[in-house]
Structure 1
Amino acid sequence: MSANEIGREVAELLFRAGAIHVSRQQPFILAAGWASPVYVDVRLLLGDPGLRQAVSELAARYAAATFPPGSFDVIAGAETAGIPFAAWLADRLALKLRYVRKRPLGIGRNAQVEGGPVEGLRVLLMDDLTTDGGSKLNFVRGLRAAGAEVEHVLTIFYHDAFPSAGERLREAGLTLHALANWGDVLRAGADNGLSPEDRAEIERFLADPVAWSTRHGGRARLAPRN
């Protein structure tokens, strides 16, 4: 199965889950602070056994087709929704599992990485959604501080609208892999109830997402690099 076929299948699953929400009147404010006319709730795939099994199988197929055998020792799930997806992928690939918090807990061992050591291990970070890449950099810093070797990030959906996400990750020595992105959703939309009006609003947003966000009360620029 090709990457394009996987992208189409994942987009179909997102539509089946009711995970594609479009609001032309009241914008959504995403976790990264951007305003958007559309919200992709990948977490809705978690609740249905058929959907979660399907997306986990597609993730395993993508990993098998993309990475040579033995590329990773560990799959690490990003808090919070990345954790179950990482667990299912780790089971399918027979790899160790860890999870990484947004920040150290502040009690006990004060660890940011949980589930066992990662020092000297090759880690694939997995999350449900990527927007501008900022949270992925934070997770990777935590993993690397614990001694992990991290060069790849796998996400179920990549909100590939905002500028410089790929560049920011590349500068940090990371490659982003996405099972699906906006192109996949738009290609699947006609067969899954996406109205022409909603499609047109999404396309206006994608043509200049920063300007759209600024006009609708969201962020107007990327956070400074650190």
Structure 2
Amino acid sequence: MFANSFPDRAVMAELLAGMLWDIKAVHFRADEPYRLASGLASPVYIDCRKLLSYPRIRSGVIDFAAATVLRNVGFESFDVIAGGETAGIPFAALLADRLGLPMIYVRKKPKGHGRGAQIEGVLPEGARVLVIEDLTTAGVSMFTFIDAIRAAGGVVDHGMALFFYDIFPQARADMAAQGITLHNIATWRDALAVARERALFDRDTLSEVESFLNNPLEWSAKHGGVSALAPRS
């Protein structure tokens, strides 16, 4: 499908951001911030799992994911696609099917019965694995799955997030220090740009969201959330 050309990165980012708004997967709420699992107070929230319920959009997003990794890494760079429990599993299955590759999935913790497996599927020793998640904030959660795959003999040098927060300047560098190059399609900047273009919110709300994106920890602290994120242990 992508042998001759790849879609433009900026176009893919804008289209995914627009799709997420179309299906009401993105929310701005500056007056009553969301509290994320990290403890961060945030005026923005996203649920990429809703993409699964829209077949045409879902297919387009997987096209974008395939184009992104093939352009950035190459056509013969992976042996297995891995999805993390739980949101990453269906997207891994879809991407593996699109690329014609085997798929595995990884639990957050080993299963408490039977074989006690943490990885389901066939992972050959030395297999080059791409780990995909629906979204990542700073990349920390992805390492739950990366560490398990590496411990089982897989080689993981790349991660894929359909949506990357991209609000912490050190996030990519921290992942690179752990041997991971992160690939993504869209970010919060893309979602904000579409919201502005479509005039989805008043100026004050858009301004608050931009303030959060520019300095998320300071914004969080001012709104009752954490002022620092827990480091990767």
Q: If the TM-score is normalised by the length of the shorter chain, which range does it land in? A: over 0.9
Q: Gaps spanning 5+ residues in structure 2: where?
A: 1-6
Say whether 1:206 aligns with 2:213.
yes
1:104-134 Cα shifts (integer Å, max 9, x gaps): 1222222221122242100000000110221
Q: Corresponding residue for 2:230?
A: 223
Letter in 2 for 1:214: A
Q: How does 1:47-62 map to 2 (within 5 A)?
A: 47-62=53-68
Letter in 1 for 2:226: R
The answer (yes or no) to whether the contact 2:131–2:158 under 8 Å persists in 1 is yes
Moved more, 129-138 or 190-199: 190-199
Distance 1:191 1:104, change over 3 A: same
Q: Corresponding residue for 1:22?
A: 28
Equivalent position to 2:17, from 8, 11, 18:
11
Say whether 1:137 aligns with 2:126.
no
Letter in 1 for 2:224: G
How far did 1:163 drift?
4.8
CA distance in 1, matches of 2:135, 2:111: 22
CA distance in 1, matches of 2:224, 2:83: 31
Letter in 2 for 1:21: H
1:57-113 Cα shifts (integer Å, max 9, x gaps): 211222222221210001101111111111111111000101111111222222221
Partner secondary structure for residue 160 of structure 1: coil
Q: Corresponding residue for 1:34?
A: 40
Partner secondary structure for residue 53 of structure 2: coil
How far did 1:194 drift?
2.5
Letter in 2 for 1:37: P
Equivalent position to 1:173, from 153, 156, 179:
179
Moved more, 182-191 or 98-107: 182-191
Q: Corresponding residue for 2:3?
A: none
1:11-47 Cα shifts (integer Å, max 9, x gaps): 1111111111111221111223211001011111111
Say whether 1:86 aligns with 2:92.
yes
The answer (yes or no) to whether the contact 1:161–1:209 under 8 Å persists in 2 is yes
Structure 1 runs of 4+ off > 4 angstroms? none
Q: Gaps spanning 5+ residues in structure 1: where?
A: none
RMSD over aligned CA atoms reads 1.5
Partner secondary structure for residue 111 of structure 2: coil
Equivalent position to 2:114, from 102, 108, 118:
108
